[in-house]
Chains A and B, each alone.
Chain A
Amino acid sequence: MEEPSIVLETQKINAWFGKDQVLFDVSAHIPKNRVTAIMGPSGCGKTTFVRTLNGLHLMTPGARSSGTVLLEGTDTSTMDIVDVRKHIGMVFQRPNPFPTMTVYENVLAGYRLTGQRLAREKADQIVETTLNKVGLWTEVQTKLFKAGTSLSGGQQQRLCIARTIAMEPAVVLFDEPTSALDPKSTAIIEELLSDLKSEYSILFVTHGLQQAARISDYVAFFMLGELVEFGETKRVFVGPQDKRTEDYLSGKYG
């Protein structure tokens, strides 16, 4: 596998909730068109890390952050945060389709919420191709105009993925997207990732070692707010360079 180019670079990211610092000088290079797993024990700052990338962290009252995020070479602090979010999509822990919208409307929610109007044919086409990409088209073809919340949990989560990639982002952040799902739905989503990475660069937060090993090309290991180790998944799992990573992989932290 040839060395991929870098889609996202972070330089010395620090983050706080009130007086508590939760991230310490996190610098990382996220490769393009790869799945990068963000792993570590609970409370290690992995979710906060991805939330600093699209500015959601700052929406929590009392939250602060510092440092630089470069999106394909552009400093995101020079961009309108709204544009940053159009390029860095996010899928959340719990499936959260908009309850007031149909399946169809949920796929197009990003366009609607950002005030972009689409011609009918263009809209139909986006809905079909996107739902196909997440393997949902055949399942929901007849339910397009039912409420998004009427689908099963796993389908809802794939609908949320569809809603995110419909905006054609460069990067998609997944924040433990399978932790609220059953094993079968989890498997479907994990398989999906290998298809999606040809078009998008993926950051995938997980606290499951097995899951990280299964799905990722690269892995970033966080502990107590620090990025302890970053590298190709195979390399890190076989021969971790940091003592803390080794301890974690061998189960010493639980």
Chain B
Amino acid sequence: MAVQPSRSDRRELVRERAFTAAGLTAAVALVTTIVLFLVQLFITSRASRAAFGIPFLWRSEWNPVTEQFGALPMIIGTLITGFGALLISTPFALGIAIFLADYAGKKAAEPVKYLIGLLGGLPSVIFGLWGLFVLVPIVSRFEVWFGKLVGSEALVASGTTGVGLLAAILLLAIMILPFSASLILESLLVVPMELKEGALALGATKWDTIQNVELPYVRRSMVGALVLSLGRALGETMAVTMVIGNGMRLPHSLFDPANTLASAIANQFLEATSPVYIASLIQLALILFVIAIVINIAARVILRRGVQQ
């Protein structure tokens, strides 16, 4: 039964080896990319660490003129906008997901899902454009009104621009809404029908079933979905850059101009001339990179466990 390898057999073998090698190469390249990013950003931000060391993380001064740099204002700005946006958008995202999973029939759900995809697919810069010319003027009017309400003349005077943390939070909330809504919807759809029907058969109302059966069942994957959305919000760049106002100091109120890690880089990198300034901006990118990787891996681990349960 031993067969002499023919020419076509040999060709097949060569192709097989090339194919295996290509697959492995691509897979290794993908894993290496993360290391490559880390190493590259670490090396090119040396000058910043040489000048400020670890305290860079909690120094609150960011002054290109005196070349004193600290990341605290940006870290605070990133956390406030990220969590603020998550706080505002989550109830709506949850509502939309529940609506699509349990209330809307197939006929109503399909177009809504399509629109969610549409909103999620709009580029960041488009949201920025809309935020800058539509949302910011509204926020500005709200600031003046709010200033008069609480009797703060400073606010009435300074807050008229509208750019700042609040505008960024609102815009981010809109941007992550489709993302977190579809992630939550995905987790709701795996709840077994029998569980829901069992509760309904016991005389529970639809909302009782959702509150007591469905939501507890997906608790874990919902946390995963929200962590992923947070990661998305923390790294969002263009839209935030366009409405946050490039403030260098620690913000004192929601109406202050500020910066996130991402927006500081986008706003200032092309203007940065000195090596320490450039390295400090790259250092911000490194911090953002590490935060993003940690959050994403954590979220995936949570989600995977959620599925396994």
- Please say whether the chains A and B touch (CB closer than 8 A): yes
Q: Across the interface, which residues of A come within 8 angstroms of B1, CB to CB?
A: 71-74, 79, 83, 87
Indicate if B11 sits at the interface (CB-CB under 8 A).
yes
Q: Across the interface, which residues of B come within 8 angstroms of A74, CB to CB?
A: 1-2
User: Which residues of A, 68-100, contact B by the 8 Å Cβ criterion?
Assistant: 71-74, 79, 82-83, 87
State which size class the interface on A falls in: 10 to 19
- A79, A87, A114: the one within 8 Å of B8 (CB): A114
- Identify the interface centre among B1, B3, B8, B9: most chain A CB within 10 Å of its CB: B1
Q: Across the interface, which residues of B come within 8 angstroms of A72, CB to CB?
A: 1
Contact present for B15 and A79 (CB under 8 Å): no
Cβ distance B129 to chain A, nearest Cβ, rounded Å: 44
Indicate if B208 sits at the interface (CB-CB under 8 A).
no
**How many residues on the B side are at the interface (Cβ–Cβ under 8 A)?**
8
Find the A residue at minimum CB distance from B12.
Answer: A115
Question: With A and B bound together, what is the CA distance between A185 and B1 in angstroms?
Answer: 35
Contact present for B15 and A115 (CB under 8 Å): yes
Find the A residue at minimum CB distance from B16.
Answer: A82
Contact present for A79 and B2 (CB under 8 Å): yes
Contact present for A115 and B11 (CB under 8 Å): yes
Indicate if A116 sits at the interface (CB-CB under 8 A).
yes
Indicate if A122 sits at the interface (CB-CB under 8 A).
no
Majority secondary structure, B binding face: helix
Cβ distance A230 to chain B, nearest Cβ, rounded Å: 23
Question: With A and B bound together, what is the CA distance between A115 and B15 in angstroms?
Answer: 10
Cβ distance A91 to chain B, nearest Cβ, rounded Å: 22
Indicate if A117 sits at the interface (CB-CB under 8 A).
yes
Find the B residue at minimum CB distance from A79.
Answer: B1
Q: Across the interface, which residues of A come within 8 angstroms of B8, CB to CB?
A: 114-117
Find the B residue at minimum CB distance from A84.
Answer: B1
Q: Across the interface, which residues of A come within 8 angstroms of B12, CB to CB?
A: 82, 114-115
Majority secondary structure, A binding face: loop
Bits for B95-119, please: 1 = Cβ < 8 Å to A, else 0. Answer: 0000000000000000000000000
Cβ distance B253 to chain A, nearest Cβ, rounded Å: 57
Question: With A and B bound together, what is the CA distance between A252 and B9 in angstroms?
Answer: 51
Bits for A103-135, please: 1 = Cβ < 8 Å to B, else 0. Answer: 000000000001111000000000000000000
Q: Across the interface, which residues of B come within 8 angstroms of A73, CB to CB?
A: 1
Question: With A and B bound together, what is the CA distance between A169 and B11 in angstroms?
Answer: 22
Question: With A and B bound together, what is the CA distance between A226 and B107 in angstroms?
Answer: 54
Provided the pairs A114-B8, A116-B8, A117-B8 are in contact, do residues A83 and B15 lie with their beta carbons within 8 angstroms? no
Question: With A and B bound together, what is the CA distance between A88 and B267 in angstroms?
Answer: 67
Question: With A and B bound together, what is the CA distance between A72 and B1 in angstroms?
Answer: 7
Find the A residue at minimum CB distance from B15.
Answer: A115
Cβ distance B104 to chain A, nearest Cβ, rounded Å: 34
Find the B residue at minimum CB distance from A74.
Answer: B1
Bits for B1-42, please: 1 = Cβ < 8 Å to A, else 0. Answer: 111000011011001000000000000000000000000000
Cβ distance B255 to chain A, nearest Cβ, rounded Å: 57
Q: Across the interface, which residues of A come within 8 angstroms of B2, CB to CB?
A: 74, 79
Q: Across the interface, which residues of A come within 8 angstroms of B3, CB to CB?
A: 79, 83
User: Which residues of B, 45-99, contact A by the 8 Å Cβ criterion?
Assistant: none
Find the B residue at minimum CB distance from A72.
Answer: B1
Find the A residue at minimum CB distance from B1.
Answer: A74
Question: With A and B bound together, what is the CA distance between A114 and B3 in angstroms?
Answer: 15
Question: With A and B bound together, what is the CA distance between A145 and B266 in angstroms?
Answer: 58
Q: Across the interface, which residues of B come within 8 angstroms of A71, CB to CB?
A: 1
Q: Across the interface, which residues of B come within 8 angstroms of A116, CB to CB?
A: 8
Question: With A and B bound together, what is the CA distance between A162 and B293 in angstroms?
Answer: 53
Q: Across the interface, which residues of B come within 8 angstroms of A83, CB to CB?
A: 1, 3
| 15 extra interface residue pairs, beta carbon distance < 8 Å, beyond A115-B12, A116-B8 | A72-B1, A73-B1, A74-B1, A74-B2, A79-B1, A79-B2, A79-B3, A82-B12, A83-B1, A83-B3, A87-B1, A114-B8, A114-B9, A114-B12, A115-B8
Sample (5) of A-B pairs whose CB atoms are under 8 Å apart: A82-B12, A114-B9, A115-B8, A115-B11, A115-B12
